Amino acid sequence: MRIVLDDAGELTPAGSALRAQQVILWSAPFVAAILLILFVAFPGFFPPMSPTMPTVEVQDFYLDHRAQVLFSMVGFNLCGILIVPFQVLIMAQMMRMKNQSHIFAFSYLTAVVAGATLFALSNIFFSVAAFRPEQDASIVQMLNDLAWITFVAPIGMTVGELALVALAILFDKGPDPVLPRWVAYVSVATAIAVAPAALAAVFTEGPFAWNGVISFWLRNASYAAFLITMFFVMRTALRQQADEDGLIETTA
């Protein structure tokens, strides 16, 4: 267990706050593993269901995979929110930036909450489609459309998160910035990569459809890569925070 102490060997309020952030940081890989298992467990992702799938085939999918769909969606409902504490950790480091308003950090949190809410709604739509798959096939298809479009297309909150991280870093012009400037450019590049997913609400075929290489695979892979990058960036930032607060780390 890692304990943050001051020079006198005692846990201080600053040390306690830093230790809480360390707990969130090191829980992130376990949360990521759970979400990856749930992602793989959903049979409609490999390959992603096509928007042009005939109505009867959509109904057959939910009839044949009802248990798997419900398992993965119940899991997402229970565990999907666990990614938010890691994003709050990013916000906490944005709050440490001294040469700017905290408006970026608070706006970032708002975007995170909005994105998590829409993700939860998509889980509900998938679940409702699988709850009574024997009902009218057109109703099942409509619920499937709602689920996929809600899952893929509302990307504005994610773009907002990434833009706000970049702005906060670029406005942090002190001699010892909390986060390195290259992270701002990674955030912008990720925002550019995920933004086209908004077109999933328009196209039914091609790379911009909800099952397309851009709207589905590039969107998800880019954001996952950004979060993995931020894990290592946050680890370095917490070490910097410990140094600034005069804290040391020991193992017990």
Residue 118 is assigned to a structural domain of this protein: yes
Residue 14 is assigned to a structural domain of this protein: no
Residue 28 is assigned to a structural domain of this protein: no
- Check whether 142 has a pLDDT greater than 90: yes
pLDDT per position as a tens digit, 198-232 = 999 999 999 999 999 999 999 999 999 999 999 99
DSSP letters for 113-148: HHHHHHHHHHHHHHHHHHHSTTS-HHHHHHHHHHHH
Residue 5 is assigned to a structural domain of this protein: no
Residue 114 is assigned to a structural domain of this protein: yes
- Check whether 101 has a pLDDT greater than 90: no
pLDDT at residue number 11: 57
Residue 249's DSSP bridge partners are 4
Residue 197 is assigned to a structural domain of this protein: yes
84 lies in which domain range? 50-234
What span, in angstroms and rounded, lies between the C-alpha atoms of 131 and 213? 29
In 3D space, the residue among 93, 102, 118 whose CA is nearest the CA of residue 179 turns out to be 93
Structurally, how many domains does the chain consist of? 1
What span, in angstroms and rounded, lies between the C-alpha atoms of 206 and 152? 15
Residue 240 is assigned to a structural domain of this protein: no
Residue 244 is assigned to a structural domain of this protein: no
Identify whether the C-beta of residue 75 lies closer than 8 Å to the C-beta of residue 120: no
pLDDT band at 10 (very low <50, low <70, confident <90, very high): low
Query: What average pLDDT does range 85-112 have in this prediction?
Result: 91
Residues 6+ apart with CB under 8 A from 122: 147, 148, 150, 151
